[in-house]
A and B are shown apart, each in its own frame.
Chain A
Amino acid sequence: MRYFTSNSPIQNLLRSYVSALVLLTIATAPVYGDIAIVTNPNSPISELSHRQITKIFMGKLRLLPGTTSEVITYDLENSNNTKDNFYRQLLGMTPSKLARYRASYLFGGKGRLPISAETEKELIQKLTTNDHAIGYIPHASINDRLKVIYLLKLNPLTTEETETDSITQTFNDN
C-alpha cells in the first residue's frame, strides 16, 4: 500500500473510476418516482423498448410485439400524479395535449383507449388476470405478482407534480 500515497496518480484514477461507477449505478437504479411498465408474469413479453412502449400507449401498436394477440393497456385515473408524469415523460404531452390526442384517436376511429383503473390496487388486480395486459405503476409499488418490462426514468425537468397541473382524462371507463 506504500505505493499508493494520497496524491498518487493511480489512486486519483481509481477515485475517478469509483465515482463514475457510483454515479452510473445511481443513474440506472430505480429511484423514488420512477415508473415501472408492468405486465402479467405469464405474459410472453419479457421486455420492451422505449419506442415500443411509446407506440403501445399512443395506440399505434395494437398487438403485443412478436405475438398475434391484442394488447390490453391500462391507465391510472385522471388525477393520479403517476399518470400525469408517465405521459409527460413518455410522450412529452401535457394533460391537455394528451386529452386532445386521445379525442382525435378515439373519435377518429383509430382504436380503443386504455382502460382506466381507479387505483393502483385495481390496476394490479387487472394485470394479474390478463396475460396480455400492460400498465404502469410507481416503481416502489411493484411486487412479485407483476413482471417489469421497462423502467421509465423520470426527468424532473419534464415532470410536474403539482395538483393544479394534473388535468388528465380518459374516455374509456369500462
Chain B
Amino acid sequence: MRIFNDLCRKNRKNWPLALGFLFSTLLTPDAEALDYNFSGFATLGAATVTEDQVYFGDYEQDWSFNTDTVFGLQFQASLADRLTLTTQVISQGFNYDNVNKYEPELDWLFLSYELTESLRTRVGRMRTPFYLFSETMEVGYSYVWVRPPIDVYTPLLSPFRNFDGADITYTTDLFSDTINADLEFESQFFVGFMEGFFLDNNIDVEPSTGIVLSLSLNQTKVRYSGILLKVKATNDVVHPLTVSLEEASQVSPALVRTSQGFETDGEWYQYHSLGFLSEWDSWSLIAENYYIYGTGKELSNDARGYYISLIYQYRDVSPYIVFGRYKNVLESDVLGGVNKSFDEIPRGVSPSLDQLRDTTLEVIDDFNVKERTYTAGIRWDIVPNVAVKAEYQFFEFMDHSSGHMISYDSNDKAENSSLITLTLDLVF
C-alpha cells in the first residue's frame, strides 16, 4: 500500500502508474472472465457575474464556460466474489489547485471488500467524507442544485477533497423486529493521508482520521462528521514576506511571531459538521452546518458555514431555494505581532517597515471572509439521464470581504454581486 500511496500522491499525476500497478498485481489469471463496466458523467456550465469588481472561479461579467464544466469516467470491475475495484478520472474546467484546466486527475482508485452483510472496507484513494454530498460533488446530475451550496462546500477544503488510506463502514437496522419503520444506523471510520494545493498554499496532511455517524428513519437522515487533520502548509508567494518579516524582527522583535504565522508545520485542525435531509411527498428539506477549528497557533483559521434548502418536485421539474452563510477568520499570532510591533516602533519612524506591516495587514485581511448567499433555481430532467438547470445566486459580502468571490482591486470592492448560471448535466 505504501507503493500505491507514493505513486498516487505526487501531485496526482502519477495515477496511470498507480493504475498499472493495481492492475498488474490484482488481476487474476482468469482475467478473461473479469466482470467490469464503464460509466461516466459530464456537466457543461456557463455563467456570468453581475458586478465588474469581482469574479468567481473563472466567471466574470462576460459569459464564460469553464468553472462548472467537468467530465468524469468511472471503471468498475468485480475482481472476485465481494471484491470490487473502482476508479474514477475527472477533468475539470477550473481547479483551485495547481492542476491545469481539463487535465485529467485520478479522483478515485480503491478496492472494496464486503466483510459481512454489515461491514465493508475499502483501501486506496477515496473521497473525504466532509458532507452529505461529498462523494458526488462533481456529479451535477446527482443533486438538484447547479453546484452544492458554496457556504458549506467551500473551496477552502478542496485540497482535502480526497485521501489515500483505508476506511471501514458498518451499517445496521435498528429495532427492525419491534418497530414498523426503516431505522438505519451507519458509521464510517477512516484514516489516511492527503496532499493538495490551494491558492499558492502547498498542503500536506499526515495523517487525517475521522468518523461519520448517520441515522436514517424512512426518508429522513441526520448525519454527523468529525475529522482531524494534521496540516503542514507552506506558501511560496507569501514566503518572501515572511523572510522580510524575519529580517525586520531584528528591529521590532514582535514581528517574529508574525513571520512564523504564515506557515503551519503539523498543527491539528478539527472539522465538525451536522447534516439533515428529509423528504416528504414532493418536498425536500436539506440543511448542513460545519465548523473548522484551528489551533490558534501558527497559520490558523476558524471557519464556519451553513445552508438550508427547500426543494419541490413536480414530475420532472424541481424548483428550489437556498439560504447560506459563511465566515472564515484568521486566528493566529500574525495580527498580534503586527499590532505589538506598532507599539515597539510607531508608524512614521520607518517608511519601509510601515510598508511591510501594511502589506502584512492586507494579506491578513484577505484571510477574513464573511458572506450571506440567497439562491433560487430550477432543475428540469428533459430526457432520460439529462437535466438542465438555471440558477440565480445573490452574494452579500460582509466585513469588507468579497466572500467566495475575489476582488480585482482590494481598494474597490463590491458590496454584493450575483451569479447567474446555466448547466447541462448528464450521466451515461
Residues of A within 8 A of B (CB): 51, 54, 60-63, 65, 68-70, 78, 94-97, 99-100, 103-104, 106-112, 167-169, 171-174
Contacts and interface: CB of A to CB of B under 8 A. Distances in A.
A93 to B, nearest CB: 10
Interface in B67-85: 72, 74, 76, 78, 81-82, 84
Interface in B312-328: 313, 315-316
Contacts, number: 102
B139 A103 contact: yes
A62 B120 contact: yes
Q: How large is the interface on B (under 10, 10 to 19, 20 to 34, 35 or more residues)?
A: 35 or more
28 contacts: A51-B176, A51-B182, A60-B171, A60-B184, A62-B114, A68-B82, A69-B82, A70-B82, A95-B384, A96-B315, A96-B316, A96-B381, A97-B313, A99-B384, A103-B41, A104-B139, A107-B139, A108-B127, A108-B135, A109-B86, A109-B122, A109-B127, A111-B112, A167-B381, A169-B427, A171-B39, A171-B427, A172-B39
Contacts of A171: 37, 39, 427-428
Most-contacted residue by chain B among A61, A95, A103, A110 (CB, 10 A): A103
Nearest to B381: A96
A172 B142 CA distance: 16
Contacts of A172: 37, 39
Contacts of A51: 173, 176, 182
B110 interface: yes
Contacts of B383: 167
Interface in B7-37: 35-37
B385 interface: yes
A107 B117 CA distance: 22
A63 B78 CA distance: 14
A112 B117 contact: no
Contact of A69 (B81, B88, B136): B81
Interface string B113-151: 010110010100011000001011001011100000000
Nearest to A79: B384
B163 interface: no
A168 to B, nearest CB: 7
Contacts of A95: 384
B384 A70 contact: no
A174 B35 contact: yes
A96 B176 CA distance: 29
B384 A107 contact: no
Contacts of B135: 104, 107-110
A169 B381 CA distance: 12
B74 A106 contact: yes
Contact of B136 (A63, A107, A111): A107
B427 A63 contact: no
A167 B384 contact: yes
Contacts of A96: 315-316, 381
